[in-house]
């Protein structure tokens, strides 16, 4: 039997080919109607069909069509789906399930190679291993095709560098060998997720007629869930519970800044909120000047700093960041690090994922980010890193932790310009099952 080829292009799924076939009908509507019809038939005394469950039906439609299902057969099956949608006849579900059963494949039992065909910018092997929960296979010997990996063309004025460790070889997409169940779970959790502005694309090396097993119901969690740790500040509010940097990540960011600036180094926190980052920076030995325009949140930040005995180490200024931060940066010159955690949802239509949208309301701060020699940004994990201002930016993908159940989840990005490689204390734990 021929070995599976992880580089081979995957055949279009049965769902995709049915969607393209005639007559026109929504496959989402058709599959919902099929499940309803099968359940109605079972209530009337018919045997249970495996396709009553959404997972089994989705698996059958996600596989390529069986070799015997040609274009004419696809159109006949699509016509049955269309009739089921438009006619009040549940019996039409029976020939559809018979056709789907004939096209069904068998679940793979041997280990499967899972290849990451498209990786995030400035990704490292350690990051990919953490996301997959498995060690990467050694790269194959000899040259590989160039131009398809994460190191493909960047704007010459923008350089993206991992915060620590070497970047992935852009000409050699990484491969890990996992159990079929682990590969199915990794595909469910990661496929299409946007990290650093790039949608992940994974491909399992399966033989014709094979499929991965179903993902258990208990594992079908939100693919990018954010675990919630306990509160770590005395004063919190609803906004803070949603946006406060987790303590472990705030400590890592502070360790990176402190290693770069040295004891007593100056840091300006442009949007401090309730002061979580300001607390971490001050406790790392930095002199902090923090700005918050909302008087209630500014009072909360002041209380949090005072509760830690940091009021002398970190000064809070209530006011608009456009004015206050500009003044602070002018006084500090090039000796301070500007830390910016702007609101991630500045508009009603959702989270900003590029530089211009993120800083649309604060152009003066955006100009400082583009101009100052030392800058650190906290960004959403989907943020398009290629939209950053020109310069050499170090990128850290911030993972969760086993104790909060999100060790394989990128929670946010920390990017910095003008700072050396992050020290070990700034590195997220890389947990491998």
pLDDT top residue among 225 and 364: 364
In the prediction, which pLDDT does 355 show? Answer: 96
Give residue 148's pLDDT. Answer: 43
169 three-class SS: coil
List b or e across 152-165, with b for residues whose CB sees 16 or more CB atoms inside 10 angstroms: eeeeeebebbbbbb
Say what the pLDDT of residue 152 is: 43
* pLDDT bracket for residue 346 (50, 70, 90): low
Cα separation, 211 vs 180, whole angstroms? 9
Mean predicted confidence (pLDDT) in 125-143: 88
Across the range 309-334, mean pLDDT stands at 94
- Residue 159 predicted with pLDDT over 60: yes
Averaged over 151-164, what is the pLDDT? 75
- Strands lying side by side in the sheet with 112-118: 175-178, 112-118, 201-204
pLDDT at 6 over 70: no
- Tell me the C-alpha to C-alpha distance, in Å, between residue 96 and each of 44, 191, 208, 259, 313: 18, 29, 22, 64, 71
Residues forming CATH 3.40.50.150 domain(s) in the chain: 238-426
Q: Which of 273, 211, 263 is nearest to 240 (CA)?
A: 273
Looking at the domain that runs over 112-219, which CATH code has it been given?
Answer: 3.30.70
Please list, in sequence order, all residues whose beta carbon lies within 8 angstroms of the beta carbon of residue 146, skipping any fewer than 6 positions away: 170, 171
More confident position, 212 or 160: 160
Q: Is the separation of the CB atoms in 257 and 325 below 8 Å? A: no
Whole-angstrom Cα distance, residue 58 to residue 142?
39
| 23 upstream amide cis, omega within 30 of 0 | yes
Mean pLDDT for the chain? 87
CATH 3.30.70, the chain: domain bounds: 112-219
Q: Which pLDDT does position 153 carry in this prediction?
A: 45
What is the Cα–Cα distance from 51 to 147, expressed in whole angstroms?
42
Please, which pLDDT band fits residue 263 given cuts at 50, 70 and 90? Answer: very high
- Tell me which of 421 and 45 has the higher pLDDT: 421
**38/94 Cα distance (integer angstroms):** 8
pLDDT tens column, 76-125: 999 999 999 999 899 999 889 888 876 555 678 899 999 999 899 999 99
Residues 288/259, Cβ–Cβ less than 8 Å: no
What is the structure's pLDDT at 236?
A: 84
CATH architecture of the domain 238-426 equals 3-Layer(aba) Sandwich (3.40)
Alpha-carbon distance of 71 to 102, in angstroms, equals: 16
At 349-362, the pLDDT tens digits run 567 889 999 999 99
73 and 21 Cβ atoms separated by less than 8 Å = no
* Whether the predicted pLDDT of 36 surpasses 80: yes
- E-assigned strand segments in 248-324: 266-269, 287-292, 314-318
Using the predicted structure, report yes or no on whether residue 150 has a pLDDT greater than 50: no
């Amino acid at each position: 039997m021929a070995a599976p080829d992880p580089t081979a292009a995957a055949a279009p799924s049965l769902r995709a080919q049915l969607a393209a076939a005639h007559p026109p009908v929504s496959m989402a509507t058709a599959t919902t109607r099929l499940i309803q019809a099968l359940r109605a038939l079972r209530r009337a005394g018919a045997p249970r069909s495996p396709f009553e469950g959404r997972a089994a039906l989705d698996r059958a439609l996600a596989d390529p069509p069986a070799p015997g299902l040609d274009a004419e057969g696809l159109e006949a099956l699509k016509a049955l789906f269309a009739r089921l949608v438009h006619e009040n006849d549940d019996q039409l579900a029976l020939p559809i399930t018979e056709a789907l059963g004939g096209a069904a494949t068998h679940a793979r039992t041997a280990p499967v190679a899972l290849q990451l065909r498209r990786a995030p910018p400035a990704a490292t092997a350690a990051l990919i291993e953490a996301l997959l929960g498995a060690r990467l296979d050694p790269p194959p010997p000899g040259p590989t095709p160039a131009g398809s990996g994460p190191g493909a063309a960047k704007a010459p004025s923008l350089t993206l560098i991992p915060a620590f460790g070497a970047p992935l070889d852009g000409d050699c997409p990484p491969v890990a060998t996992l159990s079929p169940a682990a590969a199915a779970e990794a595909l469910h959790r990661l496929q299409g997720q946007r990290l650093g502005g790039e949608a992940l694309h994974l491909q399992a090396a399966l033989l014709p007629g094979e499929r991965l097993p179903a993902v258990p119901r208990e594992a079908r969690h939100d693919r990018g869930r954010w675990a919630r740790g306990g509160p770590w500040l005395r004063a919190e509010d609803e906004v803070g519970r949603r946006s406060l940097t987790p303590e472990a990540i705030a400590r890592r960011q502070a360790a990176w800044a402190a290693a770069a600036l040295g004891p007593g180094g100056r840091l300006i926190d442009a949007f401090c909120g309730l002061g979580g980052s300001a607390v971490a920076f001050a406790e790392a030995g930095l002199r902090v000047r923090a700005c918050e325009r909302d008087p209630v949140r500014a009072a909360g930040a002041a209380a949090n700093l005072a509760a830690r005995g940091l009021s002398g180490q970190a000064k809070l200024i209530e006011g608009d960041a456009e004015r206050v931060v500009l003044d602070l940066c002018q006084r500090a010159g090039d000796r301070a690090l500007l830390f910016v955690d702007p609101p991630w949802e500045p508009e009603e239509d959702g989270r900003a994922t590029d530089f211009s949208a993120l800083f649309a309301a604060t152009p003066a701060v955006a100009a400082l980010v583009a101009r100052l020699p030392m800058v650190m940004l906290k960004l959403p994990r989907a943020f398009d890193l290629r939209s950053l201002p020109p310069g050499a930016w170090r990128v850290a993908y911030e993972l969760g932790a086993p104790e909060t159940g999100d060790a394989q989840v990128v929670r946010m990005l920390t990017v910095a310009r003008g700072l050396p490689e992050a020290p070990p204390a700034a590195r997220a734990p890389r947990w491998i099952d």
